[in-house]
Structure 1
Amino acid sequence: MSRDISVMAGAFVGIGVLHFVRPRPFERIVPKPLPRKKELVLASGAAEIVLGAMMLHPGTRRVGGLGAVGLLAAVFPANVQMTLDVLRSRKAPAYLKLGTVLRLPLQAPMIRIALKAARS
């Protein structure tokens, strides 16, 4: 297994755990029209933990990688919502505004790594 897959799998697990430890920041970025924000955050956190673990094991790496692609696509609207909220904020520092904008295109390499996991 390549290092990039290992790093991404670990990041999925770690961030998934954060969904349970500190759900409020994640709830704030759930797109406004979606109901039951806490439940969505907990479900996506559980999915990140499971998919991250699956990408670490050769027997489940394919399904884990494909699931990670789906999850990355599903949570992209939350990343857009976060960027819009930060850009609209008068209190947000410039580095945070820049960081949230630059974060959006990072989804593409993450999807490539997940697809690499699915092929390995």
Structure 2
Amino acid sequence: MSSPRSSAGRAARPLAALLLLAGAAHFARPRTFDALVPRSLPGGPRAWTYASGVAELAIGTAVAVPRTRRIGGLAAAGLFVAVLPGNVKMAVDWRRRPTPYRQGAWARVPLQIPLVWWALRVGRKV
């Protein structure tokens, strides 16, 4: 039988990887993420793209490290809730794109629910 700590690590590693890859992508392809930034936010989209990339890298690192995993999991849950408006904006903006793109964009919206659950689970299992 596995210990709760090893179980937490198994759940945390892929979450950390997801966050670290997403954070790096904000710097590798910022234009893609600029389009997701709601216009109602102050400042330019690129600043928000870079700020969210830094947040994802920091949170991914926190999730990866057992000593900071609890706060990292909670922060990841908050991040996944915070990016929901960007996912809704993308779905609305893509309403005239071909069907597979529209479906993919709308699929991202409810996907936030299992991501939040996963992050909370990782944060609780320390």
Query: Does TM-score exceed 0.5, indicating one fold?
Result: yes
Deviation readout 1:10-49 (Å, 9 max, x if unpaired): 0100010010111011001101222321111101001101
**Which stretches of structure 1, 4 residues or longer, exceed 3 Å deviation after superposition?**
none
Q: TM-score, normalised by structure 1?
A: 0.91
Instruction: Please tell me whether residue 62 in structure 1 is matched to residue 67 in structure 2.
Output: no
The 5 A counterparts of 1:1-120 are 1-34=8-41, 35-87=43-95, 89=96, 92-120=97-125
- Which ranges in structure 2 are unaligned for 5 or more consecutive residues? 1-7
For residue 5 of structure 1, report the CA deviation from its aligned partner. 2.6
Of structures 1 and 2, the larger Rg is shown by 2
Distance (Å, rounded) in 1 between the aligned partners of 2:118 and 2:57: 17
Q: Deviations over 1:45-95 (max 9, x none)?
A: 0110111111111100011011111111111100000000001x2xx2211
Distance 2:38 2:100 in 1: 23
Give the Cα–Cα distance (whole angstroms) in 1 for the partners of residues 11 and 73 of structure 2: 12
1:2, distance to aligned residue in structure 2 (A): 4.5
SS in 1 for 2:38: coil
What SS class does the counterpart of residue 106 from structure 2 fall into?
helix
TM-score, normalised via structure 2 length: 0.87
Q: Percent identity?
A: 38
> CA RMSD of the aligned region, Å?
1.1
